[in-house]
Amino acid sequence: MGTYALSKGYYDVFFKKASQVRTLMINDFKKTFRKSNVIITPVAPTPAFKIGEKIDFAPGYSLARIKAPASFDEKTVMELQLRQKYNVNLVAIKRGEHSKIKKQERGQIINVPMPNTMIYQEDVLMIAGSDTDMAKLPQE
């Protein structure tokens, strides 16, 4: 497509204009960085959701907060095999007030649970998946 556009005289229409816009953007960033060391911009088109709020991705799919059921107590993420057994993804863990964990870890949020991360009954889990699959998770 590019070769065709160049051969038919469209260089000025497409490529030259794109190059001019690129130069304007570069100059604008250079000018901004002369005054500032950092530029902070939003990373999502909507406001952040409240912790624990259920988020609907698409019809039938969501991100939900659940309390870890008793059957998950003292098992690692790997042992639970949530993807294989229930077809859901564990997104984050908020540590509960479980007596078996250190005081400084209580209330801590683990935003990237590793396979060897232990789950306790008091923990709150952020789970993503279809509503149908999430309904199959053990309740207690």
How many folded domains does the chain comprise?
2
Q: How many residues does the chain have?
A: 140
Same domain, 24 and 79: no
For residue 49, being part of any structural domain is answered with: no
User: What does the pLDDT read at residue 1?
Assistant: 46
User: What does the pLDDT read at residue 86?
Assistant: 93
For residue 62, being part of any structural domain is answered with: yes
pLDDT in tens, 29-83: 888 888 887 777 766 666 665 655 556 677 888 888 889 999 999 999 999 999 9
Confidence of residue 20 (pLDDT cuts 50, 70, 90): confident
CA distances, 31 to each of 14, 24, 26 (Å): 26, 11, 9
The string of DSSP letters for 2-46 reads: HHHHHHTT-TIIIIIHHHHHHHHHHHHHHHHHHH-S-----SSSS
pLDDT in tens, 80-95: 999 999 999 999 999 8
Kind plus residue range of the DSSP H or E element containing 80: helix 77-80
Domain of 23 in residue numbering reads as 2-35
Model-level pTM? 0.57
pLDDT in tens, 102-113: 676 777 888 889
User: What does the pLDDT read at residue 71?
Assistant: 92
CA dihedral 24, 27, 33, 38 (to 10 degrees): 30
Same domain, 66 and 127: yes
User: What does the pLDDT read at residue 106?
Assistant: 73
